[in-house]
Amino acid sequence: MTPRTPLRFYGDPLPDVDTGELQGKLIVIEGPDAVGRTTQIDRLRTWLEASGHAVLDTGMARSALAGKGIQQAKEGNTFGPLTMTLFYTTDFADRLENEIIPALRAGFVVLTDRYIYSIIARAIARGENRAWIENVASFALVPHVVYYLRAEVPDLVSRVVVGRGQFDYWESGMDLGLSSDMYDSFVKYQDKLIRALDSMSDRYGFVTIDASRPPDSIFADLQRSIAHLFGGVSRTAAPRPGRGTQSK
C-alpha cells in the first residue's frame, strides 16, 4: 500500500489514539434509503478480499452498546427526534472506538454503510440545529473517501416497490407527521435527506456516483475509483464540522 498522510479526526482526537498507527483505509458509502448501498458494499467486500485485502464492513445500528436498543425503539415507534440523533451517535461512537479504529490499526480496509453524514442529514430533516449536530459528531475520523450514491426520489420509490413491496415507517419519516399516507411521507422525507446530503457534498468532499443507473455500472465506477485510491492518489481532507462554511 502506498504511504499516505495519516488519518485525522474532524475535531478533538479520541484519547490514546495515535492516528499515525492507523494504516488501513476508511471508505464510506453514503446515500438515502433504498439507493443500493448494502448491495455495493457486499460486492466491494468480496472484490477487495479476493484482491488480498482484509476487510471490515460495518454500518448504523450494529454496535454492541446501542444496536439492540435502537432496533427495539424502532419496533415500538418510540423515537423522538433528539433521542434518535443521540442514540445513533452513541452507536457510531461505540463502533468507531471498538471496531473501526482497531481494524484500521491492523491495516484493514473498513467499508462503512453510512457514517456521521447520515446522522447529520437525519437530524437536519427533523429540525435539529445543524451546527450542534456537526459539533457533536466531530469526534469522527475523516475518511479516505466518501462515495455518495445519489438518486432522486422516483428511483428510490421504484426500488422499494420492486424490491420490498412496502414502505418502512422510519424510512418514510412517519414520525415527522409529513403525511398520513406512507408513500407521500416517504417522498417528502427522502427528498429532505437528499437535499441535506447534497448540501454536505462539497463541504465534506463527497465523490458523487449516479445511482440511478444499473448496479453493475455503479459497481464498476466504485471499483475504478477505489483501485485509484490504492494507487496512492491523494485526497483532500474535509473540513472540521461546524467551521469554515455556512449552513445551506
- Tell me the pLDDT tens digit for each residue of 156-215: 999 998 888 899 999 999 999 999 999 999 999 999 999 999 999 999 999 999 999 999
> Could you tell me which residues come within 8 angstroms of residue 61 by beta carbon, excluding any fewer than 6 positions away?
67, 70, 71, 88, 91
The pLDDT of 114-136, averaged and rounded, is: 96
pLDDT band at 155 (very low <50, low <70, confident <90, very high): very high
Residue 52: CATH number of its domain: 3.40.50.300
Partners of 55 in beta bridges: 109
**Residue 162: what pLDDT?**
87
Q: Is residue 242 part of a domain?
A: no
Q: How far is CA 69 from CA 1, 79, 82, 107, 205, in A?
A: 39, 11, 15, 31, 32
Domain count for the chain: 1
pLDDT averaged over the chain? 90
Q: In what order do the strands lie in the sheet with 206-210?
A: 55-59, 109-113, 25-30, 145-150, 206-210
pLDDT band at 236 (very low <50, low <70, confident <90, very high): very low
Q: Is residue 236 part of a domain?
A: no
The pLDDT of 97-116, averaged and rounded, is: 97
Share of the chain above pLDDT 70, in %: 90
The angle at the Cα of 157, spanning 117 to 121, to the nearest 5 degrees, equals: 15
CB count, 10 Å around CB of 29? 26
Q: Is residue 8 part of a domain?
A: no
Q: Is the pLDDT of residue 63 over 70?
A: yes
Pairing type for strands 109-113 and 25-30 reads parallel
Q: Is residue 198 part of a domain?
A: yes
Residue type, 68: K
Q: Is residue 225 part of a domain?
A: yes
Q: Which domain holds residue 182?
A: 24-230
Q: Is residue 40 part of a domain?
A: yes
Q: Is residue 2 part of a domain?
A: no
CB 35 within 8 A of CB 211: yes
The pLDDT tens digits for 2-25 are: 434 569 999 999 999 999 999 999
Q: Is 162 left (phi over 0), alpha (psi -120 to 50) or beta?
A: alpha
38-61 burial, b if ≥16 CB within 10 A, otherwise e?
eebbebbbebbeeeebebbbbbbb
Q: Which grid coordinates belong to 200? A: 454536505
Min mean pLDDT across 36-50, 106-120, 159-173 is at 159-173
Q: Is residue 238 part of a domain?
A: no
